[in-house]
């Protein structure tokens, strides 16, 4: 098989680096070009990217980073990890000539744009053909917010088999979900002796002196609205060139906690049909078997889409299961607040499944079905 030529936008950032890592040595894709802002353009990638470059081959480190204005038409696929504020213009321009997969929210909520998670809603890829109405030769396929991923994957089998009336979710999100600058701030604070609890009331999310270590940040801007909207779109049904969103009620609360990697969630589900803990475990096992049949030949697919534990998942031990691509579910229990339902805890790797590696898997699927 001749490899497809791939370029990465925003290659020197945290999400861009994970695209680079996922593409190095890939059996189907060849990493051809690295693009970044003017600060990085013209410099070797190993010099321009100041993040952890472990596992990146020397020839990639030595490759010259190109400026954003140099993105050309000689590629088969573009992977975008741009900041949202610039992604819309740049991704739209690229899609005029080349297919784009993206970790950003710039196009997620457009009617002709799917939010793809391979094992959950692969059939939504049929929307991509409608984007030619925009005058594009390519298309844009974004992934979901990293918090949405674990929720959508874990809900999907329950929704399909039991039906859902309502969902309540609380997320406890790692520092890495806030980007490299937040990681650096947290690491610096871990080396300091922190003050006693601060007096007075401040809005920490807008405070440049936000304290992460030993603290919980109870608000992540725009996060909850994204999770609710995206979950209903992802679990919706594709028919006649549009997606009919799922109709169950959903609400959530999203907070930042001082862990480095992995988003942890507690989920309370009221189901349309009664179920036991064993019923849900069996449904997950059937889901895994289906995923293995349909997507097991994709290079980035995990052995199990959902790993079920008999305990609570813990980021420090479990986030890397399936190469960071498995959704980890534990503590499945009957719920007493509803006549029928279930509660569980779920862990998803925001740096892998919830970001670049998850989108590389989407690209693999699109290549398999002929959209690349």
Catalytic residues: 146, 263
Lookup: tokens for 137: 């030769």
Taking the CA atoms of the chain, what radius of gyration do you get in angstroms? 21
Judge contact between 84 and 12, C-beta under 8 A.
no
CA atoms within 13 A on the CB side of 305: 30
Contact 185, 215 (CB under 8 A): no
* Contacts of residue 56, Cβ cutoff 8 Å, sequence gap at least 6: 17, 20, 21, 24, 45, 46
What order of strands is seen across the sheet that includes strand 77-80?
66-67, 29-36, 4-9, 77-80, 100-102, 140-142
DSSP codes, 290-347: HHHHHHTTSTT--S-SEEE-SS---HHHHTTGGGGTSEEEEEEEE-SSSSSEEEEEEE
């Amino acid at each position: 098989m001749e490899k497809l030529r791939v370029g990465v936008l925003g290659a020197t950032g945290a999400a861009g680096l994970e695209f680079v890592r996922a593409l190095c040595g890939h059996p189907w894709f060849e990493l051809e070009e690295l693009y970044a802002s003017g600060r990085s353009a013209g410099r070797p990638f190993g010099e321009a990217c100041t993040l952890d470059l472990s596992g990146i081959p020397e020839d990639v480190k030595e490759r010259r980073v190109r400026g954003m204005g140099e993105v050309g038409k000689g590629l088969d696929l573009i992977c975008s990890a741009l900041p949202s504020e610039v992604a819309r213009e740049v991704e739209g321009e690229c899609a005029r000539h080349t297919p784009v997969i993206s970790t950003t929210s710039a196009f997620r909520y457009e009617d002709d744009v799917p939010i793809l998670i391979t094992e959950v809603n692969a059939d939504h890829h049929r929307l991509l053909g409608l984007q030619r109405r925009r005058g594009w030769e390519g298309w844009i396929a974004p992934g979901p917010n990293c918090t949405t991923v674990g929720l959508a994957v874990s809900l999907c089998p329950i929704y399909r088999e039991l039906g859902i009336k309502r969902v309540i979710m609380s997320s406890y999100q790692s520092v890495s979900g806030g980007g490299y600058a937040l990681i650096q701030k947290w690491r610096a604070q871990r080396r300091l002796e922190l003050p006693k609890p601060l007096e007075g009331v401040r809005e920490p999310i807008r405070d440049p002196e936000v304290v992460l270590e030993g603290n919980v940040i109870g608000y992540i801007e725009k996060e909850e609205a994204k999770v609710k909207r995206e979950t209903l779109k992802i679990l919706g049904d594709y028919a006649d060139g549009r997606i009919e969103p799922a109709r169950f009620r959903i609400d959530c609360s999203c907070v930042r906690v001082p862990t480095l990697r992995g988003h942890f969630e507690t989920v309370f589900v009221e189901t349309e049909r009664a179920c036991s803990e064993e019923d849900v475990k069996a449904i997950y096992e059937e889901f895994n078997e289906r995923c293995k049949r349909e997507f097991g030949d994709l290079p980035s697919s995990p052995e199990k889409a959902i790993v079920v534990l008999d305990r609570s998942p813990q980021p420090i031990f479990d986030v890397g299961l399936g190469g960071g691509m498995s959704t980890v579910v534990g503590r499945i229990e009957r719920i007493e607040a509803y006549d029928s339902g279930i509660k569980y805890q779920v862990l998803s790797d925001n740096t892998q499944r919830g970001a670049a590696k998850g989108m590389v898997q989407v690209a693999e699927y699109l290549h398999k079905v002929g959209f690349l």
